[in-house]
């Protein structure tokens, strides 16, 4: 006669009801459709950032400066003062390389996080919780400054993402 498996919660042998299976947290990707959705969004954001980084490196500063000068002319901005002047001076080879490097790092981090969430890795849920928690103060500030349906939607989506990832971590702990 085989001994009964221990209960998932109490650990006592044979404390589960006859025929019932103990509740185990299954961190397989199929058990987490929310993680899959978040993973796809993160991978998409990462790939777009990598595409932007590549575009910055391929284009270089000359076409970017041309586009900024066209915008200055179209909106009749002062090219010698203000944000437009700062932007024109910031578009140089070093600035473009720095922007491309930051975008590439951002993209790699999001692709890595998405891969980890797709495979239900705990570290990816932690990384997601931290990054969403870092975004929330800025989202709340934007909501306070410019209340509207878009600001509310961004805050709501980020709170849902935070809840899904925190729930995943909580279920792993149990």
Mention every residue, 6+ apart, whose C-beta is less than 8 A from residue 111: 42, 43, 46, 47, 50
Residue 48, pLDDT > 90, answer yes
Residue 9 lies in a domain: no
* pLDDT value for 103: 97
Residue 155 lies in a domain: yes
Report the helix count and the strand count for the chain, using DSSP H and E.
6, 0
Residue 37 lies in a domain: no
Say if residue 130 is in the same domain as residue 171: yes
Q: How far apart are CA 5 and CA 12, in angstroms?
A: 8
Residue 148 lies in a domain: yes
Q: How far apart are CA 166 and CA 170, in angstroms?
A: 6
Residue 8, pLDDT > 80, answer no
Residue 19 lies in a domain: no
Say if residue 91 is in the same domain as residue 130: no
| Residue closest to 166 by CA, chosen among 127, 125, 115 | 125
More confident residue, 38 or 2: 38
Domain that holds residue 124: 120-174
What is the pTM (predicted TM-score) of this model? 0.72
Residue 23 lies in a domain: no
Residue 85 lies in a domain: yes
Q: What is the chain's mean pLDDT, rounded?
A: 84
Residue 32 lies in a domain: no
Q: How many domains would you assign to the chain?
A: 2
The predicted-structure confidence for 60-112, as pLDDT tens digits, reads as follows 998 988 888 888 888 888 877 878 888 888 889 999 999 999 999 999 999 99
Say if residue 98 is in the same domain as residue 124: no
| Residue closest to 26 by CA, chosen among 162, 129, 120 | 120
**Single residue among 81, 106, 131 that ends a domain in this structure:** 106
Say if residue 90 is in the same domain as residue 127: no
SS3 state of residue 25 = coil
The predicted-structure confidence for 24-38, as pLDDT tens digits, reads as follows 555 554 557 789 999
């Amino acid at each position: 006669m085989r001994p009964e498996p221990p209960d998932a919660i109490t650990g006592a042998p044979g404390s589960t009801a006859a025929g019932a299976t103990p509740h185990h947290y299954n961190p397989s990707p199929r058990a987490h459709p929310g993680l899959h959705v978040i993973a796809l969004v993160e991978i998409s954001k990462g790939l777009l950032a990598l595409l932007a980084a590549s575009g910055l490196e391929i284009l270089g500063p000359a076409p970017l400066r041309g586009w900024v000068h066209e915008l200055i002319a179209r909106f009749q901005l002062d090219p010698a003062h203000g944000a437009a002047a700062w932007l024109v001076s910031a578009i140089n080879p070093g600035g473009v390389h720095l922007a491309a490097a930051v975008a590439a790092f951002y993209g790699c981090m999001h692709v890595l996080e998405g891969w980890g969430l797709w495979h239900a890795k705990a570290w990816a849920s932690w990384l997601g919780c931290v990054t969403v928690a870092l975004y929330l103060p800025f989202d709340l500030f934007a909501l306070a400054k410019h209340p509207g349906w878009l600001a509310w939607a961004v805050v709501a989506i980020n709170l849902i993402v935070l809840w899904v990832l925190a729930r995943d971590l909580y279920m792993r702990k149990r």
